[in-house]
Amino acid sequence: MSKPQAGFSMLMLITFLAFISIGFPDAVLGVAWPSIRDTFDRPLPDIGFILFSSGTGYFLSGLLAGTAIERLGVGRLLALSTSAVAIGLFGYAATPSFWALLGAAMLIGFGSGAIDAGLNVYASEHFSVTVMNWLHAFFGIGAMLGPFIMAGTLEAGASWRVGYVIVASAIAAMATVFFLTLDRWNDGAHQAAEEPESRVTVRAVLRLPLVWLHVVIFFVMCGIEASAGAWTATMMLGRFDASAGEAGLWAGIFWGAMALGRLLLAPLSGDLDPARLVQLGTIGVLVGCLLMTRDQQWVFQAGLIVFGLGMAPLFPTLMSLTPIRLGSQAALHSIGFQVSAGTMGIAGIPTIAGLLADRTSLVAIPWTMTAGAVLVIALETILRTRTAHRTSSKPAPTSA
């Protein structure tokens, strides 16, 4: 293996490890929150303050990620952002008050949004659609391991602060790896593909209709995905009188179906046009949503699995297609916008579904998801039709 090939393989390995490590903090809070609220004597709903603070930081960093990549490069952005997440997690462990914890949460969100955008920008330009799907499957593995770490810490009788120190140490180790490999991330591929005079400004990117199609798709897509994650256990309990254990099991099965789909369905992208893979995925999402509206428990559970499998390739494959459809320079900003839009969808659509369910019945949740799935299919069809001629080669973006 030549030195360039060895270096590239090393970066691929680092990227896989990075996706695992950034998945750690995402699901830890749910396990730690009962202990955190006891420490600070907070009511149960106050977890919303933490989620809002983290989500605000995530949203803002997504908007700024493209400009940050242009000025710092992918390597420096990853190193600095991962350091910010580690500092925020150590801040969780050391915070003397609940309100100081909110500041740490915003820092974690800000760093995580930049990492998400930076890794997706790099991976979408350097790795195949298959690898991109595997990377996001490994993010799910990290999101699964994080709660295990916290649960094991609490089970051993240690404080939740110790659990956060362990998670923060893993993120700090990842930041060290990024600092040690700074120069390897900026290999000049991006600059070679785009001449300086063809650089696209943020304002010019925002004037592109295709960018807004991407943004709206990510808003709705991430929102209905989050609705399944947030409300599955509640629907199992309220609609089918399931036990708490069974409800929790099926909530986990949904995420497992997504991870399994990314691991097993991703190789299809080698033989199937990625745009066609997205199209088939959106159809699977709609079928799954419709099955979840039924009153038979086994039909609902089958729909949940179909929904998870259909959703699996959408986020990573659409990220991979972004530079192809928009050009590398426009994708720098668009990917950040997509990350921010997804964050808004995760907060907004499950809330809307919950409000409708509170005023009617729990079946309003899968019907809200069904409406979102129909909208995703419509938007994806328009996007695929308008960019069909670009799938064979990367276009140069319009110069600004």
How far is it, in rounded angstroms, from Cα 294 to Cα 78? 45
Co-location of 386 and 277 in the same domain: yes
- Do the Cβ atoms of 137 and 20 come closer than 8 Å? no
Q: Which of 380, 358, 248 is nearest to 311 (CA)?
A: 380
For tokens 């896989």, the residue is: 16
pLDDT tens digits for range 48-70? 788 788 888 888 888 888 888 88
Please say which residue of 155, 170, 193 terminates a domain. Answer: 193
| Paired tokens of 103 | 């500041």
The amino acid sitting at 168 is: A
Tell which phi-psi region holds residue 80, choosing left (phi > 0), alpha (psi between -120 and 50) or beta: alpha
- Do the Cβ atoms of 220 and 324 come closer than 8 Å? no
Co-location of 133 and 55 in the same domain: yes
CATH code: domain of residue 315: 1.20.1250.20
Co-location of 180 and 247 in the same domain: no
Helices (H), the chain: 3-40, 47-94, 98-126, 129-155, 160-180, 182-185, 189-193, 202-206, 209-240, 244-264, 274-292, 297-311, 314-326, 328-359, 364-386
What is the pLDDT at residue 250?
84
What is the pLDDT at residue 293?
96
Cα–Cα–Cα angle for 211, 213, 219, nearest 5°? Answer: 105
Co-location of 147 and 213 in the same domain: no
Please say which residue of 193, 220, 251 terminates a domain. Answer: 193
How far is it, in rounded angstroms, from Cα 1 to Cα 70? 31
How far is it, in rounded angstroms, from Cα 389 to Cα 399? 20
Co-location of 133 and 219 in the same domain: no
What is the pLDDT at residue 22?
74
Domain assignment present for residue 400? The answer is no
How far is it, in rounded angstroms, from Cα 43 to Cα 36? 10
| List of residues 6+ apart from 209 with CB closer than 8 A | none
What is the pLDDT at residue 240?
93
Q: Which of 105, 36, 373, 37 is nearest to 223 (CA)?
A: 373
Cβ of 245: how many Cβ atoms within 10 Å? 8
How far is it, in rounded angstroms, from Cα 81 to Cα 180? 15
Domain assignment present for residue 399? The answer is no
Full residue range of the structural domain in which residue 88 is found: 3-193
Cβ of 293: how many Cβ atoms within 10 Å? 16
Co-location of 213 and 188 in the same domain: no
- Do the Cβ atoms of 397 and 326 come closer than 8 Å? yes
Co-location of 128 and 264 in the same domain: no
The amino acid sitting at 284 is: G
What is the pLDDT at residue 202?
76
pLDDT tens for the chain, 400 residues long, are: 555 555 567 788 888 888 887 777 766 776 787 788 889 998 866 777 887 888 888 888 888 888 888 888 888 888 999 999 999 999 999 999 999 999 999 999 899 888 888 888 888 778 877 788 788 888 777 777 777 788 788 888 899 999 999 999 999 999 999 899 888 876 544 443 444 445 677 788 888 889 999 999 999 999 899 888 778 878 888 899 888 778 777 877 887 788 888 888 766 656 678 888 899 999 999 999 999 999 999 999 999 999 999 998 898 889 888 888 888 778 878 888 888 888 888 878 888 888 898 889 999 999 999 999 999 999 999 999 988 766 544 443 333 3
